[in-house]
Amino acid sequence: MFKIDDCVMYGMTGACKVIDITNEKFINGEDRKYYVLRPIYSDNIIIKAPVDNQNIPMRKTISKNNATSLVNNIPNMDISWIEDDKTRNKKFNAILKSGKCEELIKLVRSIHFNKEQVKSIGKKTHQVDDNVMKEAERLLNEEFAVALNISPDEVIPYITSHIPQQNI
């Protein structure tokens, strides 16, 4: 169970802070406990998520040590590409929904690598892949920003300054 002031990753919403834990009473007399979440990088939004919710993944944000370890390991992460558009899209969306940092990094690297290859032969990437990459980058930037105590805009410069450019 999370506590008030914990920073969590909540599904595709991204980084949120637990600002309260409340009990809601329903007309049928049922009591249900909720986390009250405020997205860290979005204004004027409050989310109530049932404590026992199994549909939307919610987990504590990674620690600073985990973030730096992941950054240091980026050059060693696999890059793979799925040629079939439907299969690739299904796999990429599953990775996005899982919200696992290492998998999101691999996804971004794979799309980036493919983008460079396609660009070198004068073609463009699929818009769907570009959109998935942007969403994965947003989730990663938010989580790494919380872990490293920097702004989301500083995450990419942080990563590039800690890895030799040819290894990204």
Question: What are 85-98's pLDDT values in tens digits?
Answer: 999 999 999 999 99
Angle at 166 between CA 161 and CA 167, to 5 degrees: 75
H-helix or E-strand containing 15? strand 14-25
Distance CA 48, CA 58 (A): 12
At residue 165, the pLDDT reads 56
In angstroms, the Cα distances linking 40 to 13, 29, 37, 69, 91 are 10, 33, 9, 23, 28
Residue 43 is which amino acid?
D
Share of the chain above pLDDT 70, in %: 97
Q: Is the pTM of this model over 0.85?
A: yes
Distance CA 125, CA 115 (A): 6
Q: Quick check: 167 pLDDT over 60?
A: no
Kindly report, residue by residue over 16-42, the tens digit of the pLDDT.
Answer: 999 999 998 877 778 899 999 999 998
